[in-house]
């Protein structure tokens, strides 16, 4: 304890004059000097606690974080690149056992998918025609920017990735990140040249989604493992293994209809409101190399604007009552001893 508090100086036989001989400021500075280790620890801990509590929403990273990223990312890429190259070399040239059989299976699957594709194209033509008729605009023409994954999460607890595009490419915190396979996550922090992505498997992630087949709604929740949970699926909802989950478009991040994953397990219990649904994400985050950031931040409607039609309706109604003939306003009051009809 003496070592921590810096009291070893007592043992070194220094002469310390009494408080009465010194000014208060001198005494204070000496006191701080003596306890500077615990004081520094407490101050730094307070800064960390405040940082953890205040900045939980997606936000641009500060100068300190930007400097650390700017310093470490090139080094990180330099260190990680040979490892990934060796891993790719192994997977692409050495580890080819069973490739012939897999090739045959895939060829048969391609044939089947081509037939399916033909049918879908027909359906799409019909849908397009209907959309034109109803004046519906296709919202999938979203502006996107491609980015490479340059860093993975160092800890065993969180599941974020770092990409090589940032604010200069128009990326802002809160934007959705996808690949051709499905949802990756949301931009949680940005610097000028890089951005941090909170993936859907991170324990801090939540995505509102629904099951494509049965339209059952719920929320996909990350759990720091390779699987994610589909929460709030009612027990009576029809959920089966292999069902595809799509984003619902509710909330301010993801557009509607992007694939989140497939149901891998369902644990229905005889009690409780909800069933436990496990989902395998559509995107393999361990092999993620390139992503697309949707450069459109979906803002929720302003509460005042949102309330305006109702307010108008209400004021319109009160105006109408005020301007109404006397017999109607009298009729609006309940008759004595009875209920108003």
Among 67-75, 130-138, 169-177, 315-323, the segment contacting another protein (CB under 8 A): 67-75
Give the nearer residue to another protein in terms of CB position, either 76 or 237. 76
Asked if 289 contacts 161 with a C-beta cutoff of 8 angstroms, the reply is no
**What's the token pair of residue 256?**
């509607």
**Rounded Cα distance, 263 and 273, in Å:** 19
Q: Is 282 in the site for another protein (CB under 8 A)?
A: no
257: left (phi over 0), alpha (psi -120 to 50) or beta: left
Q: Which of 16, 19, 33, 45 binds another protein (CB under 8 A)?
A: 45
Among 131-139, 145-153, 290-298, 319-327, the segment contacting another protein (CB under 8 A): 145-153
Closest CA to 293 of 206, 164, 205: 164
- Each residue 222-261 as x (binds another protein by CB under 8 A) or -, in order, gives xxxx-----x------------------------------
- Each residue 79-108 as x (binds another protein by CB under 8 A) or -, in order, gives xx--xx--x---------------------
CB 41, min distance to another protein, A: 5
Q: Is 28 in the site for another protein (CB under 8 A)?
A: no
Closest CA to 190 of 209, 208, 165: 165
Q: Is 188 in the site for another protein (CB under 8 A)?
A: yes
Give the nearer residue to another protein in terms of CB position, either 196 or 247. 196
Closest CA to 161 of 313, 39, 341, 284: 284
Closest CA to 150 of 187, 85, 194, 199: 194
**What's the token pair of residue 60?**
């641009």
Q: Is 204 in the site for another protein (CB under 8 A)?
A: yes
Q: Is 65 in the site for another protein (CB under 8 A)?
A: yes
Closest CA to 247 of 223, 283, 195, 272: 283
The SS3 of residue 239 is coil
Q: Which residue has the tokens 């000014």?
A: 23
Q: State the residues that interact with another protein by CB under 8 A.
A: 1, 3-4, 6, 8, 11-13, 36-37, 40-41, 44-45, 47-52, 55-56, 61, 64-65, 68-69, 72, 75-76, 79-80, 83-84, 87, 151-160, 162, 188, 196, 198-199, 202-204, 221-225, 231
């Amino acid at each position: 304890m003496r070592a921590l508090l810096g009291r070893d100086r007592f043992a070194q036989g220094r002469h310390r004059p009494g408080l009465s001989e010194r000014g208060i400021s001198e005494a204070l500075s000496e006191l701080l000097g003596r306890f500077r280790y615990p004081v520094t620890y407490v101050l730094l801990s307070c800064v960390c606690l405040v940082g953890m509590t205040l900045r939980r929403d997606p936000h641009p990273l500060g100068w300190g974080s930007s400097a650390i990223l700017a310093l470490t990312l090139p080094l990180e890429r330099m260190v990680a690149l040979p490892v990934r190259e060796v891993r790719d070399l192994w997977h692409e040239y050495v580890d080819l056992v069973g490739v012939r059989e897999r090739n045959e299976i895939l060829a048969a699957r391609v044939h089947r998918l081509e037939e399916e594709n033909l049918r879908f194209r027909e359906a799409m033509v019909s849908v397009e025609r209907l959309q034109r008729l109803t004046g519906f605009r296709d919202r999938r023409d979203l502006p996107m920017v491609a980015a490479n994954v340059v860093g993975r999460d160092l800890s065993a607890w969180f599941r974020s990735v770092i990409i090589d595009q940032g604010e200069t490419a128009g990326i802002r915190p809160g934007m959705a990140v996808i690949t051709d396979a499905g949802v990756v996550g949301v931009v949680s922090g940005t610097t000028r040249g890089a951005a941090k992505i909170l993936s859907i498997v991170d324990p801090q992630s939540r995505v509102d989604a629904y099951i494509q087949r049965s339209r059952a709604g719920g929320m996909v929740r990350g759990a720091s493992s390779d699987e994610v949970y589909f929460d709030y699926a009612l027990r009576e909802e029809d959920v089966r293994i292999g069902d595809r989950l799509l984003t619902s478009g509710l909330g301010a991040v993801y557009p509607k209809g992007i694939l989140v994953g497939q149901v891998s397990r369902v644990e229905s219990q005889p009690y409780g409101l909800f069933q436990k649904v496990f989902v395998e994400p559509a995107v393999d985050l361990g092999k993620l190399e390139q992503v697309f950031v949707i450069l459109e931040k979906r803002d929720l409607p302003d509460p005042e604007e949102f309330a305006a039609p109702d307010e108008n309706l209400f004021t319109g109604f009160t105006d109408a009552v005020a301007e109404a003939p006397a017999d109607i306003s009298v009729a609006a009051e309940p008759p004595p001893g009875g209920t108003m009809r």
